[in-house]
Every structure is written in structure tokens, then in C-alpha cells.
Structure 1
Amino acid sequence: MSSKRILTDRGSAVPALAEAFREHGFEGASLTVLSRATGLGKGSLYNFFPGGKEEMMEAVLTNIDAWFEASIFSPLEQASAPASAVTAMIDDVTAYFRSGSRVCLVGCIGLNASGAAFAERIRRYFARWIAALADCLRAAGVADTTAVQLAEDAVSGLQGAIVLARALGDDGAFVRIAQRQQSILIGAMSAPRNSPTPSQ
């Protein structure tokens, strides 16, 4: 059965743990909830994650970090075609968050009292995304201060769109907001160099 395969592979439990933490929060995800989500008994969970829930969350955050590093941060920082990199970022983030049907796990932790234990990880996640996007904008000729402001607006807009889409039960809300953010960023890249970027 598939549970046998899961029992031999710590890594395969991580996506299920992530979904459980998204759904219930760190505090609300009891060992019973995590066991049910992964198909692993409590003893097996502790065998794979001796540090308990904290180690499980660390594994989930490491998995998220790896995906964003490969799919979002590095492509933005190394972009030879900045506009294409921004378009790819929007497409990939949309797919990753299932068009807004998931609440961002990192954002949820950040809004939680329990997030204090992971505060530095959360800070690095958001700071790296903003910095990578600002680098991409600068590579397209956007002024430094404007690039940082646009990057902050885009990241906060996308994160807020995830929460809004979930609250409204409307996946399309995330897509619409993400597309507007994309238009703003591409517009800033194509604006004449001696003209200020229009404010939102």
C-alpha cells in the first residue's frame, strides 16, 4: 500500500505536513492531525522527526525555501530578459498557490504568535523575494528606489491576494490581482528612462 512507501520516506511526508499546517496553523496541527494527514503513526512521525512539530515545520519551510530559490529567487536575480522573468514569476506563483486556493503557509506563520519561533526564516523569505524582484527591475533600468518600492508592493499584493481569494472562495481574485501586479511591473520596465514611474 502507499502508506508503506510513505513510512520509508521522510521526504514524502513533507507535502502532507505542509497542507496540515496551512489548514490548522502551527498550534492547531496536533500530532493526531499530522498523523492523519500523513498516514503515519505518531511513533513513525517521531522516528522521522525526533524534534517533534518544530522539526516538521522546519522541514516544510526548508522545502518551501528550496522551491522558491530554484523557481523564483534565482531566475529573478539572474534574468537576462527581465520582463520574461517577471511573467514567469507570476505564472509560477499562481500555479504554486493553486490560483489562490491555499493560504500561504509562510504568511500564516507570520501572522501567528507561534511564528516567533520561525521569525528569522520568515523574514529571510520575504526579504529575499523583495530583493530578487528589485534586482530584476533594476536590470531592466528601473531606478533603485522605485524598484524596491515596486517589489514591496508586488510581494505584499500577491500575499494579500492569496488570503483574499481564500476568504472570498474566489480563485479568480488571485489571478486578477496577480495580473495587475504583472502589468505594473512590466509597465515600469518599459517606461521611458527619464520619466517617473506612475504611482498606483
Structure 2
Amino acid sequence: MARLVHEKSDVVPMIAEVFREFGYEGASLGRITERTGLGKGSLYHFFPGGKEEMAREILAHVDHWFVENVFRPLERDVPREAIENMWAATAGYFHSGRRICLVGAFALDETREPFASEIRLYFARWIKALRGAMARGGVDAREARLLAEATVGGIQGALVLARAMNDPKIFTRRLARMADEIDRALSAAKGPR
């Protein structure tokens, strides 16, 4: 039987799912090896810095996905199209509310301190990118900032509530409502679309 050889890029998403399920503290090396099928030697080969290095790699992986699929489109593309793309990408990434946000989860527990910079930059860029797209769409700067903050916070809150209530429809309903709010603001704006 052929031996399966993994690349680090294959391993990071597998470990991310363990962190998603058990949190940083609960993602023991034993659980990680059990869930990924990787031996401890392989894990230390890929992550000589241990669990903290794994977490940093996971945060970088999540950030990269959001940069490519959400942040850059918001920063560059036609505002309405970019925002519509954000809703679709967000719903897809979080499996319509069935998957927690690792960055948000890390922000809520003792894990926050070692990763504070990565966490802050992730949320700050999302807010700034969404605010910028709305502003390019003609929404007043103050209104765009408030809506962007409320939207990113609303996404995180909807993820928590959907998970707590075991009802992913909470997440999809909240996304639809926030999309309507932003659409109304863009429709009322006097600027390029």
C-alpha cells in the first residue's frame, strides 16, 4: 500500500478543523493526531514551534482565504458586486452558519493574547474594506463606517447564536437582513455604483 505524504498546505486545514471543534486549549496533540491521522513526528516536522505555531499558520491560512475572496474584492471591485460577493463568500466559508469563525473564537478566550495582532488586523481589514466599498458606492463616510462595524460584528454574533441554538438559519437570516441594510444605503447614496 502506498504511503500518503502530506504537504504543509494540506495539513493546515485539517488541523484548523480540530481547533474549530475543540478550541485552542482543547486541541491537544492527541486529538490533532487522532483527527488528522498524522503522527506526532510529522506534526513537529511541519510545526517545530508546536501548537502555537499551528495556530499562527491556521490564522494566516484563514486570513489568506479572506484576503483573496473577501477583502481584495471589496477593496478593488465594483462596490455592489464586491459586497454581493462578500455575502456569498461568507455564507460559503462558514457553511451557512454551521462553521465557527476561528479568528472570532481565538478573540474570545485566553488564546487572544499571543495572537492579538493577527486577530485585530483581520477584523480591522474586513471593516476597512467593507467601509471603503460602501464609500466608493456613495455612502456617507460615517454611515459606511457604522454599517461596516455593525456588519462584521453581526456576522460574528450570528455565527455564535446559530451555533448556540443549533440553528444555522439564524445565520442566513441575519446575513440577508444585513445585505438589505447595505443595499438600502447604497440605493439611497448619490454616487457611483
Q: Into which bin does the TM-score normalised by the smaller protein fall? A: over 0.9
- Partners of 1:148 and 1:164 in 2: how far apart? 24
Summarize the Cα distance change of 1:192–1:128 in structure 2 as closer, same or farther, 3 Å threshold.
Answer: closer
Which residue of structure 2 lines up, in the alignment, with residue 60 of structure 1? 58
**Cα RMSD between the aligned structures?**
1.5
Which residue of structure 2 lines up, in the alignment, with residue 198 of structure 1? none
1:192 Cα deviation after fit:
4.7
Give the TM-score normalised by structure 1: 0.92
1:8 Cα deviation after fit:
3.3
Establish whether residue 49 from structure 1 lines up as the match of residue 47 from structure 2.
yes
Does the CA contact (< 8 Å) of 1:49 and 1:56 recur in 2? Answer: yes
| Runs of at least 5 residues in structure 2 that lack an aligned partner in the other structure | none
1:100 Cα deviation after fit:
0.5
Does the CA contact (< 8 Å) of 1:73 and 1:128 recur in 2? Answer: yes
Matches within 5 A, 1:35-184: 35-80=33-78, 82-184=79-181
1:127 Cα deviation after fit:
0.2
- Partners of 1:151 and 1:159 in 2: how far apart? 12
- Partners of 1:140 and 1:95 in 2: how far apart? 24
3-state secondary structure, aligned to 1:125: helix
Percent sequence identity over matched residues?
46
3-state secondary structure, aligned to 1:117: helix
| Runs of at least 5 residues in structure 1 that lack an aligned partner in the other structure | 194-200
Q: After the TM superposition, which segments of 4 or more aligned residues of structure 1 sit over 4 Å from their partners?
A: none
- Partners of 2:87 and 2:6 in 1: how far apart? 35
Q: Summarize deviations over 1:119-161 as a string: whole Å, max 9, x none.
A: 0000000000000000000001011111000000000001111
- Partners of 2:111 and 2:189 in 1: how far apart? 46
Which residue of structure 2 lines up, in the alignment, with residue 32 of structure 1? 30
Q: Summarize deviations over 1:93-125 as a string: whole Å, max 9, x none.
A: 000000011111000000011221000000000
- Partners of 1:62 and 1:192 in 2: how far apart? 35
**Aligned length, in residue pairs:** 191
- Partners of 2:22 and 2:6 in 1: how far apart? 26
Summarize the Cα distance change of 1:192–1:48 in structure 2 as closer, same or farther, 3 Å threshold.
Answer: closer
Which residue of structure 2 lines up, in the alignment, with residue 197 of structure 1? none
- Partners of 1:135 and 1:30 in 2: how far apart? 40
Q: Summarize deviations over 1:61-110 as a string: whole Å, max 9, x none.
A: 11111100000000001122x11211110111000000011111000000
* AA matched with 1:142: V
